A and B are shown apart, each in its own frame.
Chain A
Amino acid sequence: MTTRLPRDLHPVAWWLWAIGMATAASLTTNPFVLLLLVAAATVVVVARRSDQPWARSFRLYVGMAVVIVVVRVAFRVVFGGGYAGTVVLDLPAVPLPGWAAGITLLGPVTRESLLAGLYDGLRLGTIVVCVGAANALANPKRLLRSVPPALYEIGTALVVAVTVLPQFADSARRVRAAQSLRAGETGRVAGMRRFLVPVLEDALERSLALAAGMDARGYGRSAGLTPARRRVTGALMLTGLGGICVGVYAVLDRTAPRYLALPMLVVGVAAAVVGLISAGRRVERSRYRPDSWRWPELVVAGAGIVTGLLGWWVSRHQVPLAFPDLSTFPQISALSLLGVVIAVAGGLCAPPPPSSYVVAVPLRQEVAA
């Protein structure tokens, strides 16, 4: 059972799990199913998150979800006049000028319009909570580190961007404090300049220092790559990109010639894949302690996918249960319930996170004693 000892689960597994739940949420407006999905995500996050900084972000996402629901319902009250159904609050309609025809301000608020807003908001809020759960459970940087070798440069650029952002906030705070220590223009434009110039100079200097540091530590070493190989890789990537663009356009635009659609898309994807492999071969780097993919990863990712599939099946074959009528009390499908149970059970199959990243110093002292 060593696979269940405390460790970090592969980030891709958490993201698949969360995306599965988000898919299920996007395919229903049933408030009970949505609330159950939120509860499932919350239970797993509470049980399996580590004590690293990003793990605390879950609360932020829940807050965002609540705001979304509130805003949706509020919009229904303000602009939702003229919705047929049982009136619960009879507000006077505000007459609007002719150019705003089609929009009603206030007016009688019906139960149906409120419920529609609530269900819709809940759906969006649940998706946000699922994304938040993935963020809290898997270090976003570790996720970026698992990109294929050919996309290594892009992955690094993203990692650097993620790193630089908090530093940017840091330097903004520092400069704002420092600028209050001296006199100078206080106008809007001049004040902006006072603040922006040092912050941007700082950011530029930091980026240069980081680039220099990365280069000095061997980033981007090209081990004996010939210019010809580089050109071939470049050509393959460009062809692939062009093919995919044209193909996707032709697939979506029904009037385009058919030979441009699927064949072009297939050729584009094939060229891109070959290009990626060719580019990946030149990257001569290895990975320190790569995240392993074992059975808990499979179970977690599988649970998410099954939940998503069940949600899709219900939305296709049990439409009244997936999208309940606004005038009746919503019923819940047994399959949706099963999906939620699978999501929770799968999520809890993950090993617990390493207890604490701050290594126990007292332990060492005990050993010494």
Chain B
Amino acid sequence: MIELRDIRFAYDGATVLDGVDLTVEEGELVLVSGPTGVGKSTLLGIVSGLVPRFSGGRLEGDVLLDGVSVVGRPPRERAHAVGYVGQDPAAGFVTDTVEEELAYGMEQLGLPPETMRRRVEETLDLLGIADLRHRDLRTLSGGQQQRVAIGSVLTMHPRLLVLDEPTSALDPTAAEDVLATLTRLVHDLGVSVLLAEHRLERVVPFVDRMCLMTGDGTVRVGDPGELLAASPVVPPIVELGRAAGWHPLPLSVRDARRRARGLGERLAPPPVPEEQPSTDGLEAQGLTVVHGATVALRDVDVRLPAHRVTALMGRNGSGKSSLLWALQGSGRRRSGQVRVGALDPSRLDAAGRRGLVGLVPQSAADLLYLETVGEECAAADGGTGACREILDRLVPGVPDDHHPRDLSEGQRLALALALVLSARPDVLLLDEPTRGLDYAAKRVLAGILRDLAADAHAVLVATHDVEFVALAADDVVVLADGEVVSSGPVRRVVAESPAFAPQVTKVLGAPWLRVDEVVAALDAS
């Protein structure tokens, strides 16, 4: 129904897309995948019409909607056929309650009131959000917002849904909800879906076809099983399949589990994690944080030993950010105490706090305010060059004269991390650092965190990404509704709660966490 023909797109002289052909058929779920910065969002924007209208750049080629060229027409003239949901659904909300938001698009199309009324009710039921109908959009959780955003385009009865990273900001359970909703739309209503996603492990099992962007401006379209065999970005399950020599590659945990029968026995005994002597780090007891009438944290005890990376997990709105800010000392706490050595960070001034506990906030861009990377570094260390040195150690080769906003997600995160680390804190806290990072960048980040821990730092990283936790963390703390529900070494916690288990654990059982462990064991046996 929608067809891209020989699309070429250049931005500021740099070619992003070079001769892309892609067709999305009726009732198909197509995944766009590839490393960060390869032009996934650009491709989706061209389909919805937002590129080049809202981004600038030069577009050549043709976009056909049911055989009619729509390439020169603005997004609003395609709204009845193509529904677009951006990366941050909350940023695209126009009205203030769920019901009005669902009706907004239909009002623009000028549909009669009875039709609007009927479709709003149908959509509320279809997405399971009927009990949210009068809620203020800003009070919804991330998963609910995402479903409302999908609903708000669905009411226009589009035939193609275009979604840019619909699950990247969601906790594992909410992500599964959204994906289940999408598959239901594809199966029951015959809607076509085109989505971009970094976390392939979540979506690959649901996908009909895959469009792999290779980085040189071209794409390869085909069956996910075949494309993933040679893809630079693959979910852990495919990596495991490649290592074990399975063919065809498994795409879902269920497939892999069937293949893995017997593999467990062939492996050498699982590695026994050596317990490090836990030395001092940060210790918090009885933390309670209250925002207005809501209790964000209730009597939480946390210990962050030096030399270890601790992961903080929990669904959206469970109090992870509140805990990080309270530990850093900037966030106000109602009661409880925090100790780093003999000091309480909340009793120090801002400079003293950041010398003790560093925090990289959720939107790392909030830290940046100067025009070039060099200026940012100089402002952070007072011209001693220490910050630049840290940045080079984290991610070598970030040019001094670049504007921080022009860096890739990973580089910008590294810059923010360097700015925070240049105060030489003993404890480092990171809030959702893996947002928008591809597998390679996540692996680099995991390496950085491991190095920091080896360097006697205590590290706490709040994240939704179970695969990243398996890669980077020693311990896990799981928060729910402001209370700690489980904490301990990764292997134990993950074995106890299947929702937080990485794919390798789901396939091979409890002690195994990462593909590289399995590979090492395979080599050993």
Contacts from A to B (Cβ < 8 Å):
52-53, 141, 156, 159-160, 163, 166, 174-175, 177-185, 193-194, 197-198, 201-202, 205-206, 208-221, 223, 284-290, 354, 357-359, 361, 364
CB distance from B428 to the nearest CB of A (A): 11
Q: Are B369 and A198 in contact (CB under 8 A)?
A: yes
Q: How far is the CA of A166 from the CA of B369 in the complex (A)?
A: 22
Q: How far is the CA of A358 from the CA of B131 in the complex (A)?
A: 8
Partner of B76, one of A178, A197, A218, A290: A218
Main secondary structure of the interface of A (DSSP, over half): helix
Q: Are A209 and B108 in contact (CB under 8 A)?
A: no
Q: Are B420 and A181 in contact (CB under 8 A)?
A: yes
Partner of A217, one of B105, B351, B379: B105
Q: Are B105 and A177 in contact (CB under 8 A)?
A: no
A201 contacts across to B, CB distance below 8 A:
365, 405
Partner of A215, one of B54, B134, B405: B54
Q: A183-B354, A287-B107 are in contact. Are A193 and B369 (CB under 8 A)?
A: yes
Q: Which residue of B lies closest to A139 (CB)?
A: B96
Selecting from B28-36, B112-120, B280-288, the interface stretch reads: B112-120
Q: How far is the CA of A220 from the CA of B358 in the complex (A)?
A: 47
In the complex, chain B residues 103-146 whose Cβ is within 8 Å of any chain A Cβ? 103-113, 116-117, 120, 131-136, 138
Q: Are A214 and B94 in contact (CB under 8 A)?
A: yes
Partner of B75, one of A178, A216, A287: A216
A213 contacts across to B, CB distance below 8 A:
86, 91-94
A357 contacts across to B, CB distance below 8 A:
134-135
Extra contacts, 17 of them, besides A160-B94, A215-B50, A285-B107 (Cβ < 8 A), are A53-B136, A159-B94, A163-B94, A175-B366, A178-B367, A182-B367, A183-B351, A211-B54, A215-B54, A217-B92, A217-B153, A218-B156, A284-B110, A288-B99, A288-B103, A354-B134, A359-B134
- The 10 A-B residue pairs whose C-beta atoms are closest, nearest first, are A213-B92, A218-B79, A288-B103, A218-B108, A178-B366, A209-B91, A357-B134, A197-B369, A216-B84, A217-B105
**Can you identify 9 A-B contacts, CB atoms within 8 angstroms?**
A183-B351, A183-B419, A183-B423, A193-B369, A212-B50, A216-B76, A288-B106, A288-B116, A359-B132
Q: How far is the CA of A214 from the CA of B84 in the complex (A)?
A: 10
B156 contacts across to A, CB distance below 8 A:
217-218
CB distance from B433 to the nearest CB of A (A): 14
Q: Which residue of A lies closest to B328 (CB)?
A: A181
B350 close to chain A: CB less than 8 A = yes
B15 close to chain A: CB less than 8 A = no
CB distance from B119 to the nearest CB of A (A): 10
B74 close to chain A: CB less than 8 A = yes
A175 contacts across to B, CB distance below 8 A:
366
Q: Are B76 and A220 in contact (CB under 8 A)?
A: yes
Q: Which residue of A lies closest to B405 (CB)?
A: A201
A206 contacts across to B, CB distance below 8 A:
91
Across chains A and B, the number of contacting residue pairs, with CB separation under 8 Å, is 181
B359 close to chain A: CB less than 8 A = yes
Q: Are A288 and B76 in contact (CB under 8 A)?
A: no
Q: Which residue of A lies closest to B378 (CB)?
A: A184
Partner of A289, one of B113, B134, B363: B113
B382 contacts across to A, CB distance below 8 A:
183
Q: Are B96 and A286 in contact (CB under 8 A)?
A: no
Q: Are A221 and B92 in contact (CB under 8 A)?
A: no
CB distance from A179 to the nearest CB of B (A): 7
Main secondary structure of the interface of B (DSSP, over half): helix
B113 contacts across to A, CB distance below 8 A:
286-290
Q: Are A174 and B80 in contact (CB under 8 A)?
A: no
B92 contacts across to A, CB distance below 8 A:
209-210, 212-214, 216-217
A284 contacts across to B, CB distance below 8 A:
110
Q: How far is the CA of A297 from the CA of B113 in the complex (A)?
A: 22
CB distance from A195 to the nearest CB of B (A): 8
Q: Are B134 and A358 in contact (CB under 8 A)?
A: yes
Q: How far is the CA of A175 from the CA of B330 in the complex (A)?
A: 13
Q: Which residue of B lies closest to A176 (CB)?
A: B366
CB distance from A265 to the nearest CB of B (A): 35
Q: How far is the CA of A175 from the CA of B95 in the complex (A)?
A: 25
Q: Are B361 and A178 in contact (CB under 8 A)?
A: yes
Q: Are A216 and B365 in contact (CB under 8 A)?
A: no
CB distance from A361 to the nearest CB of B (A): 6
Q: Which residue of A lies closest to B416 (CB)?
A: A182
Q: A215-B75, A216-B79 are in contact. Are A177 and B361 (CB under 8 A)?
A: yes
Q: Are B76 and A215 in contact (CB under 8 A)?
A: yes
Q: A212-B92, A218-B80 are in contact. Are A359 and B112 (CB under 8 A)?
A: no
Q: Which residue of B lies closest to A167 (CB)?
A: B138
CB distance from A207 to the nearest CB of B (A): 9
Candidate in A141, A197, A216, A361 with the most chain B CB atoms within 10 angstroms: A216
A290 contacts across to B, CB distance below 8 A:
113
Q: Are A174 and B366 in contact (CB under 8 A)?
A: yes
Q: Which residue of A lies closest to B50 (CB)?
A: A212
Partner of A181, one of B80, B94, B354: B354
| Cβ proximity bits B336-357 to A, threshold 8 Å, 1 near / 0 not | 0000000000000011011000
B299 contacts across to A, CB distance below 8 A:
none
Q: Are B94 and A180 in contact (CB under 8 A)?
A: no
CB distance from A160 to the nearest CB of B (A): 7
Q: How far is the CA of A163 from the CA of B422 in the complex (A)?
A: 38
